[in-house]
Amino acid sequence: MNKLHHARKLACVLGISALTLHLTDMPAHAQAIDQIAQNATTHINLAWSYLMNMVCWVGGGLLLAISVFAWYQHQRNPNAGIRMGMVLTGVVCGGFLLTLPFLARTTSYTLFEQNPAVTGEQKQMLFDQ
């Protein structure tokens, strides 16, 4: 019973391995590993930039909205514990978060004359003899 159980496990592993090898063989031989790494790096960089844009836009908008509401509360009752310094700090931080994607893009175009990108490109090192 124990040998039969191990034989079934081995047959399943070999079958899955053969199927996986067959499915990955076709696309893998058409692309070199550096192209696959470059595509993966590009996808990761795009996902990270979308996440950062979302955090900046949503976070900055929320900070500005909260600051406007806090300013309204301060005008209704100045003794409620909401100081104008807190309101101004929220406005400055929210404005900075909203402009951060624009500043990053402008800086990368101005200083580096291109989009910030990690391509995964490999360079060959040559040695003189």
Check residue 104 and give its pLDDT.
Answer: 78
d(CA 95, CA 63): 8
pLDDT, tens only, 59-73: 999 999 999 999 998
Question: 85 by DSSP, 3-state: which?
Answer: helix
Check residue 42 and give its pLDDT.
Answer: 84
Helical residues (DSSP H) of 1-83, grouped into ranges: 2-30, 33-76
pLDDT, tens only, 11-44: 777 777 776 766 665 555 556 777 777 888 888 8
* Residue where the block lists tokens 């590993």: 33
Give me 71's structure tokens.
Answer: 């300013």
Check residue 67 and give its pLDDT.
Answer: 93
CB 53 within 8 A of CB 83: no
Instruction: Give, rounded to a whole angstrom, the gap between the first and last alpha carbons of the chain.
Output: 64
Is pLDDT of 81 > 60? yes
Is pLDDT of 101 > 90? no
CB 63 within 8 A of CB 97: yes
Check residue 33 and give its pLDDT.
Answer: 74
Is pLDDT of 50 > 90? no
d(CA 93, CA 107): 19
Check residue 91 and give its pLDDT.
Answer: 92
pTM of the predicted structure, to 2 decimals: 0.55
